[in-house]
Structure 1
Amino acid sequence: MVGMNVEVNFVDCCLKVQFQQEYSNSSSDNIETIYKFVIPKTTTIGDFYAEVGGRKVHGVVQEKGEAQDTYDDALSSGLTSYIASKEEDVSFNSYSISIGNLAPGQKSKVYISFMSVALNKDGRYIFYLPPELLPAKIPVSGCCNIEMTEEVEDVYSTVGVVNPIKNLVEWKLIYSSQPIVIVVTTKKFFQPKAILEYDENTKSKALMITATPVWKDLNTDLIESQVEVIFVVDRSGSMRGSRISQTKQALNILLHALPPLSRFNIIGFGSSQDWLFPESKQFCEENIHIAHEKIQDTNADLGGTDLVSPLRRIFSKPIDIDYPRIILVLTDGSVNDRNGTINEVRRNKEQCRLYSLGISSAVDKTLVNGICEAGRGEAAFVINDSEIEGTVMSLFEKAFQPCTRNIQIMWPENTIQYAPKKIPPIFKGDRLITFGLIEGEIGEYVNIKALDPMGQELDWSVPVEKGNGFLRNKLAAFEIIKQLEADNENNEQTDTKMKIIALAKKYQLVSKYTSFVAVDDQVDTATNTSLKTIKVEVVKPLCNDDFSEDETETRARGMIKKKKKAPKKYDKRKKEKKQEDISEGFQRSEPKQKMVELEKSEKKEEVFERKEKEKERKNSSGAEERKVNLEGKNSNEQKSTLVKAQKFDGCWDIETMCGFLSISLEEIKKHIPEVSEGLWATALAIAFLELYLSESANTWQMVAKKGRAYMIKLLIKEKSITPNVSTQECADLIEKAKAFLKLTKSN
């Protein structure tokens, strides 16, 4: 590759990104160039053609096997040919582009167009192009055309110049050490839109519906979050001592801060992985007990710091859209493959929101900030180990944002297909985007129904605007293909496969079963020389230590050359051999498990850990027996005991509080107001936290909030009162509990 140009087209929230890559064969041999890259799973190839000697050679989508045969036939006939395919490895959205029989001295330009929906966040449309998708030593020029049906308020770009009317960004000859980021802010971003687009080429219509929910007057105590939370905890050797001890204490509290309807898992990582459950489990008393036992036995004993492998395994698990996925990463060092880890999160950003706590001054801040930016979350950092607990709780609270759920689109009757079939919850600042293929005319409005974070019904009537073009049609077909591929993932149904192929061929899209292929039949490049294959991998979906030392050095230069024997007119190569040749050197392998033994010089830290472990066992057993004497306990032990005693739904029971406070059940019952025992016990627990443990409030606030939510809902049920009245009665009950605690202490 000797040159590259990038052309970006913003069409509302839709993106078309065209790469123009120039190849030149300066050798004395015919060459085959294989260009491999990984792009987000929300993206596909929607156009592909080449320019050779001033002629355009247009690509056409064929069934994958047919396209490979077309390409191989062209090579064996001595013709220059091109193919763009999606790789078989489902762990990555990996593609390869091959240019075969490029003759000595010949130049060729290849045009690849990617289609996707732009990232939408807080009133902004965002285009992000990572440097890994650009050639390392070749300057890149390009432009971004902005076509919005909404009025553009501002355009920000990390490269080039924005023109005065804010519809064009241009840049020239930049190098790819930094990402290219373009942010478009419009004045009516939060207004729901429905655009019906007619595509002249396919004679089809697509309806794109977008909306960004806005809520007012939310009572956060009444919001019920239903999420999947995965804690990913660094257990490398550097986490020994106070770091792992503080992290374990934070995990015990985090568990009880989880919403009652949650699913959860805990994963330790180092050179190897340690999963609490093979799959995330429902939050309940039994699973809390299992998790506490696991945390108690957790140590910093997993060796190095390989984060990309557990993340890759998480992303391979299917998501349940009724349980939005939240990942919380806690780490104190640098990982084996920083860029690979960040790219892994970015490719799967639609699957989750990722938050991370960086521990110590030695932590890789670029990594922590990078995975959070890619995962649409936030990062936090602590220098002192004593701050871990409070900081991670504050970060965790940010992860539980309200969302709009149970979203239903009232699609017109003449909608042929639409996607997604089931719409995931939409968080604050995010945007609903859905597509349907339409046959004929539709009405003037489309209705959207949903529930706000408090369960109140929402109903939008969105006017339909008319538009022309092709991008919304292609994206509609792509979203439907993704839906069909997901439905067909475990059972290869022939009918579904044929539907995917038919859609991909009609709308000219690369898919699991289709490829673009182009053949220049005007130039015969047959020679007596052998064919050299040059493989260029732009984004390596592997960790650095997956390669041998020599192989890593070769790949760092960006290409591998391999010589093959060939007759004057190439024999048709078998499909199996071709695929083997193309993939050679790019096979994915799991990182080798490297267990690091603790050295003898670390015995002092081991003794410290054993003492901490014994201390936690005593706390745990005391909580289970519910016979707790507070005398002689420090505030940290009191907090740990009280938090562990909270039930999964947010309440405390009266017997637990009797044991914790060393007060008889008879004495407590004498002072119960006209409420149930569970309400009074929960009020006592929250009152104790606020009265006697206020200095560590940042570590237990979410636990107390969960207890208040339990009380408010139960008061509404028991007394048939409004949420506002219930909230006030909850506060009054906690004040009565404080008065009781003060009285018992004075006596």
Structure 2
Amino acid sequence: MMNRCGLITVQKEPVPLQSIEVELEVRDHVATVVSTLKYQNKEDKPVEAVFVFPLPGDAAVCHFSAVIGQKEIVAEVKEKQEAREEYDDALSSGQQAFLLEESEQSPDIFSMKVGGLAPGESASIRLEYVTELAVQADDGLRFCLPAVLNPRYQPQGRNTSASVQVFSVPASLVPYTLCFCGRLFSPRPICKVESSCSLEPLQYLNTDQTQATVKLAAGHKFDRDVELVIYYKDAHQPTAVVEAGQTSAETGTLMGDPVVMVSLYPEFPQSVMSSVASCGEFVFLLDRSGSMDCSTSNSREQETRISSARDTLLLLLKSLPMGCYFNIYSFGSSYEHIFPQSVEYSEKSMEEALKKVKGMEADLGGTEILEPLKHIYSQRCIPSQPRQLFVFTDGEVGNTKEVLDVVKKNSGSHRCFSFGIGEGASSALINGLAKEGGGHAQFITGTDRMQPKVIQSLRFALQPAVEDISVTWGLPKGLSVTVLSPPITSIFQGQRSLIYGQLTGQSSEATEGSVTVKYSLAGRPSQNQLHFSLKPAEDTGLTVHRLAARTLIRSLEMEDRDEMGETDGGIKEKVVQLSVQSGVSSSFTAFIAVNKDNNETIQGPLVRRDIPVASECHFSKYNHRFDFDKFSVSHMDALHQDHAKIFVELCVEEVETPQQTPRDPLLQLVSLQKASGCWILDPDLAAALGKTSEEVEKSKPVTSEVWATILALIWLHGFKMDAKEEWELLAMKAASWLSPCVPESVDAGNALLGCSLQKDALML
């Protein structure tokens, strides 16, 4: 068996990365992350260390430098091929060089090369990026420091020569350590911080609790993504920040002019929000690749991703409104659909779908998501039934940009809600699907339950579609604004919309500006307005400018891509120019640093050392079937076959025969509900309620179906309030099915089940 003490390479040689220290600073909803990577070459020959690692997909990498001894070398941003050639030339002439570049396939994968590390020499690499924090459906702000990078599946027949090769090992074998600490600053009190990892208690730095520090608990292993969810009081307050331009930059350029970042939280009238839509075409697209057989968390006892997805589909199907249409697709190396085209939601169609869902396993091989998406978009939309697409995937694909191109081209015909399942899900893919599809993204990691997050997104999908969105600015005479963000295509109740604008000109008049978002909601004109100070904020550095540059770079990169994925030359030139000017990474540029002052040239050929990154096991736990088809395409070049064999042995080493666990009582009750919303009085319902058939029948004061439905509602409200967000929509459907019932029925139900609920509490 392999030694687990850090001798990771197949040749049993040491990996030169010793530790990663991460400092996080969060100001309101923007995070600045500084990572310091410490390298040491303990070998007797010079090495080139290659580290391929994940970052948030929308991060703006804005600084890269190296410290060798007492000397700091700061990298420059250059066109990618030029940077690569400069790196190669430096190494061939015996100089030290450092290269950082973004993957051309996916903006959440970076590769770092530390070239020319002499025997016994140490280097400290500093990497800095800024990123917006995504707002979850429960109003928490999500920060994720990715640690897990699973091999990205390359579609069959595609050229994989340019794809990034990931050297990954089971998380327990990662040889370097992680130290992580964060400082939080907010204009509003910080209520709490939750995490997928163990944290030390939150330390407040002032009495009004607007500043705090957070640290990982001692003993944390770098075996999972570090996820923080930050909750502020009154999180839905709109804000605007104006940041002064860079004094050394030319006026009229993005970096030389002031930039405003506006954060809006539209609030819809209560009269509109209380009316849930009863129409729509709901298309569910489920990943059934081999990796979906992994556990949903780090605990072996937890359910698998595919079983959690099946339970979620049950809740979704029970929560759909009568009168809508639906279909379910599943995909792996190929794809399947339950119906040839979307069908009307009825008892018959729902039961047929649930029967198929029950038999779904993670047995379809790879992760070919593009073809089923194309097939869905090729289906004609149903008049007066807006299409809502729900995508469930662990997000391990190598053609992210191609997938997002297709979603963007079809953004006018649907809204896309995406769910990243498990550690290592690609943030670029999950966030990109929702952004390009005008929907909402959620991540299910650690011990998260999938069901409440998905039902929260269903609520968004059932909100009335917002149409005719426009943004207007009110600025003093002499000032104008150039909007840098793509147009807002979707608005959801309480969800943030971010807008970046470059301010040009000068004005001696008013010191206040305004921005107004106008839209049509349920046929009625609505608007939200924010007034803001034009005085530049202090202590922002160039964070807002860099985020604005990153937003504009991403928009340009998505423009004018043809069917082959080739980018227009003029667009590339604009991106390179903006990336170099702003110092922010792009897919067409790279950071390059060369130590030209090194007095001694590196002697002898460099030995390449691939640094491993944590990866989850891609295997079927219950039949010991390793998914080599998926693994080999993107991965086998980077690992020798004997190392892959060790990897498989480690994966299956401790597999146990799965135990049949009793079904969740909530899901048991939900599974008995009819499409119309009612329940039937039968022995299965009695058992789900914890009663005998005789007990249930004996006290029946009304017709069987009404009585069964009242009992189900009382049981949900009386015993499952902790999971209310999961069942509330299907309970609303049940309440609307019930004709006005006499209070005696509720009283009788309370007496039978030992509850004391009022009629109003049951939404009757």
Give the TM-score, by structure 2 length. Answer: 0.59
Partner Cα separation in structure 2 for residue 193 and residue 62 of structure 1: 35
Change in Cα spacing, 1:446 to 1:511, as seen in structure 2 (3 Å) is: same
1:408 aligns with one of 465, 470, 473: 470
Match of 1:649 in 2: none
Instruction: List aligned pairs for 1:28-427, cutoff 5 A.
Output: 28-90=44-106, 93-121=108-136, 122-132=138-148, 136-148=174-186, 150-154=187-191, 156=193, 158-159=199-200, 162-165=203-206, 167-169=211-213, 171=215, 174-177=219-222, 179-200=225-246, 201=248, 202-215=255-268, 217-218=270-271, 220=273, 222-224=275-277, 229-232=283-286, 254=318, 257=321, 260=324, 265-268=327-330, 273-275=335-337, 300=359, 304=363, 311=393, 312=395, 316=403, 318=407, 320=411, 323-326=414-417, 339-340=423-424, 350=434, 369-370=447-448, 372=450, 378=452, 400=461, 402=463, 405-406=466-467, 407-411=469-473, 414-427=480-493
Question: Where in structure 2 are the equivalents of 1:523-542 lying within 5 Å?
Answer: 523=598, 526-538=601-613, 540=615
Deviations 1:481-528 (A, max 9, x none): 111112233352222222211111111111111111111101155444
What's the CA shift string for 1:176-199, capped at 9, x where partnerless?
A: 356544454444532211221113
Deviation at 1:53, TM superposition (A): 1.3
Tell me the distance in 2 between the aligned counterparts of 1:287 and 1:546. Answer: 38
Amino acid in the other structure paired with 1:473: H
String of CA shifts for 1:536-568, please: whole Å, max 9, x gaps: 24255994645599999x99xxx9799xxxxxx
* SS state at 1:467 partner: coil
Distance 1:690 1:700, change over 3 A: farther
Q: Using a 3 Å threshold, how does the CA distance of structure 1 residues 701 and 40 change in structure 2: closer, same or farther?
A: closer
Distance in 1 between the 2:732 and 2:189 partners? 41
CA contact (8 A) 2:25 2:32 kept: yes
Q: 1:258 to 1:105 in 2, by over 3 A?
A: farther
**Bigger Rg over Cα:** 1
**Cα distance change of structure 1 residues 321 and 160 upon mapping to structure 2, 3 Å threshold:** farther
In the alignment, the residues of structure 2 paired with residue 307 and residue 274 of structure 1 have an alpha-carbon distance, to the nearest angstrom, of 14
Inter-CA distance 161–139: structure 2 relative to 1 (3 Å threshold): farther
Aligned-pair CA distance for 1:694 = 6.2
1:482 aligns with 2:554: yes
Report Cα offsets for 1:108-158 as digits up to 9, x if no partner: 11111122101234454343324438994434334323343x133445362
CA offset digits 1:448-505 (Å, max 9, x no partner): 2234578551331322353242001100110111111122333522222222111111
Secondary structure of the corresponding residue to residue 68 of structure 1: helix
Secondary structure at the aligned position of 1:191 is classed as: coil
Conserved 8 A contact 2:338-2:356: no
User: Could you say what secondary structure the match of 2:91 adopts?
Assistant: helix
Distance 1:73 1:250, change over 3 A: closer
* CA drift at 1:30: 0.9
Aligned partner (choices 17, 20, 45) of residue 33 of structure 2: 17
Correspondence for 1:467: 537
CA distance in 2, matches of 1:233, 1:142: 33
Which whole-Å deviations, capped at 9, do the CAs of 1:668-720 have from their partners, x for residues lacking one? xxxxxxxxxxxxxxxxxxx99758876678999969978999x9xxxxxxxxx
Structure 1 contact 417–437 (Cα < 8 Å) conserved: yes
C-alpha displacement at 1:434, in angstroms?
2.0
* Change beyond 3 A, Cα 1:370–1:424: same
Report the counterpart of residue 696 of structure 2 in structure 1: none
Supply the AA of the counterpart residue of 2:127: I
Which amino acid in structure 2 is aligned with residue 232 of structure 1? Answer: L
1:36/1:97 contact within 8 Å kept: yes
Structure 1 residues 119, 81: closer, same or farther in 2, change over 3 A?
Answer: same
The answer to whether the 8 Å contact 1:59/1:516 transfers is yes
2:242–2:261 CA contact under 8 A, matched in 1: yes
Say which of 509, 515, 519 aligns to 2:584. Answer: 509
One-letter code aligned to 2:359: A
Instruction: Identify the residue that residue 7 of structure 1 maps to in structure 2.
Output: 23
Give the whole-Å Cα distance in 1 for the aligned partners of 2:42 and 2:313: 63
Give the deviation of 1:102 after TM superposition. Answer: 0.9
C-alpha distance in 2, partners of 1:45/1:521?
Answer: 24
Q: Which residue of 2 aligns with 1:745?
A: none
Alpha-carbon contact 1:30-1:532 (below 8 Å) kept = yes
Q: Distance in 2 between matches of 1:2 and 1:252?
A: 46
How many Å apart are 1:85 and its aligned residue?
0.7
1:70 counterpart SS class: helix
Q: Which residue in the other structure is 2:754 paired with?
A: none
Query: How far apart, in 2, do the equivalents of 1:232 and 1:22 lie?
Result: 41
CA contact (8 A) 1:445 1:463 kept: yes
Is contact 1:452-1:458 (8 Å) kept? no
CA distance 1:453–1:88, shift in 2 (3 Å) = same
Structure 2 CA distance, aligned partners of 1:71 and 1:536? 19
Retained in 1: the 8 A contact 2:242–2:259? yes
Aligned-pair Cα RMSD in Å: 5.3
Q: Does 1:439 align with 2:504?
A: yes
What is the aligned partner in structure 1 of residue 723 from structure 2?
none
Give the whole-Å Cα distance in 2 for the aligned partners of 1:63 and 1:235: 37
In 2 relative to 1, CA 701–531 (structure 1 residues): closer, same or farther, beyond 3 Å?
closer
Structure 2 alignment gaps of length 5 or more: 1-16, 150-170, 249-254, 294-302, 370-392, 620-625, 645-673, 683-702, 717-725, 743-764
Going from structure 1 to structure 2, the CA distance change for 1:24 and 1:256 (only over 3 Å counts) comes to: closer
Distance 1:126 1:524, change over 3 A: same
User: Could you say if the C-alpha distance between residues 25 and 250 of structure 1 is closer, same or farther in structure 2, counting changes exceeding 3 Å?
Assistant: closer
Q: Which residue in the other structure is 1:726 paired with?
A: none
Does the CA-based 8 Å contact 1:403-1:452 persist in structure 2?
yes
Distance apart, 1:33 and its partner CA: 0.8
SS in structure 2 at match of 1:75: helix
Of the structure 1 ranges 405-414 and 49-58, higher mean CA displacement relative to structure 2 is found in 405-414
5+ residue gaps, structure 1, are 330-336, 357-365, 381-393, 563-583, 586-618, 621-633, 637-686, 712-729, 736-747
Matches within 5 A, 1:654-693: none
SS in 2 for 1:222: coil
| SS class of match (2:53) | strand
Distance 1:229 1:327, change over 3 A: farther
Q: Give the conservation status (yes or no) of the 8 Å contact 2:202–2:214.
A: yes
How far is 1:24 from its partner? 0.7
| Distance 1:213-1:203 versus aligned 2 partners, 3 A rule | same
Instruction: Sort the Cα spacing of 1:501 and 1:291 in 2 relative to 1 into closer, same or farther, 3 A.
Output: farther
Identical aligned pairs, as a percentage? 16
Q: Which amino acid aligns with 2:423?
A: N
Alignment of 1:513-592 (within 5 A): 513-523=588-598, 526-538=601-613, 540=615, 543=618, 545=626
Give per-residue Cα distances to partners, 1:336-394, cap 9 Å, x unaligned: x95345979866685565789xxxxxxxxx9784473xxxx6269xxxxxxxxxxxxx8
Amino acid at match of 1:444: G
